[in-house]
Amino acid sequence: MIYWQIFLAFFIPGILGYGGGPASIPLVEKEVVDRYGWMTTQEFGEVLALGNALPGPVATKMAGYIGYTEGGILGSAVALFASVAPSLILMIALMVTLLKYKDSPKVKNITKMIRPVIAVLLGAMALQFFMTSYDTSGSIQTIVLVIISYWLLEVRKMHPAYVILMALAYGALTGFF
């Protein structure tokens, strides 16, 4: 019975919490504190603070912790699955629908129209990153990093993760001086 309660405590907020983790936190609190009484508001606030302090989505970290405290390892797995299940189910349903109509001229046209929009959004984000780097690090350092990154990615065909790690290391080293 406890596993079903854990599942419902995180599945229902996942369905109703439009906007992801932060939007579903009050709904999770309502379930965990008010409905099932697994913890007090103070304890829930501490779990929320801990979840915010760690990297990654808050809702899944909270689900894992609360599920573990109430049902052990299996409870943690149930809560974690319940918190991602609504999105997972919706994505699978949309993918099945998309694959069913993938040869339709309308779907192909939609895909053609989305690509330029995504390219513009990524370009705008890259320009914003470039301008922020230019303002904080200076023009010479920014231009050198852009040229070296381009050379590593396009000429040397290095994986982007390695380029990012090298840039992080460079930033950490220059931060000390």
Structure tokens at 124: 């705008």
pLDDT surpasses 90 at 7? yes
| Per-residue confidence band for 6, with pLDDT thresholds at 50, 70 and 90 | very high
pLDDT surpasses 70 at 13? yes
* Euclidean distance between CA atoms 24 and 27, whole angstroms: 5
User: pLDDT tens for residues 35-57?
Assistant: 999 999 999 999 999 888 888 88
Domain ranges of the chain: 2-100, 105-176
Q: What local confidence, expressed as pLDDT, does residue 177 receive?
A: 66
* Euclidean distance between CA atoms 108 and 95, whole angstroms: 14
Mean pLDDT of 136-146: 87
The b/e string for 94-118 (b: 16+ C-beta within 10 A; e otherwise) is eeeeeeeeeeeeeeeeeeeeeeeee
Tell whether pTM > 0.85.
no
Structure tokens at 95: 């993918």
Q: What local confidence, expressed as pLDDT, does residue 19 receive?
A: 65
Q: What local confidence, expressed as pLDDT, does residue 34 receive?
A: 93
* Euclidean distance between CA atoms 32 and 44, whole angstroms: 8
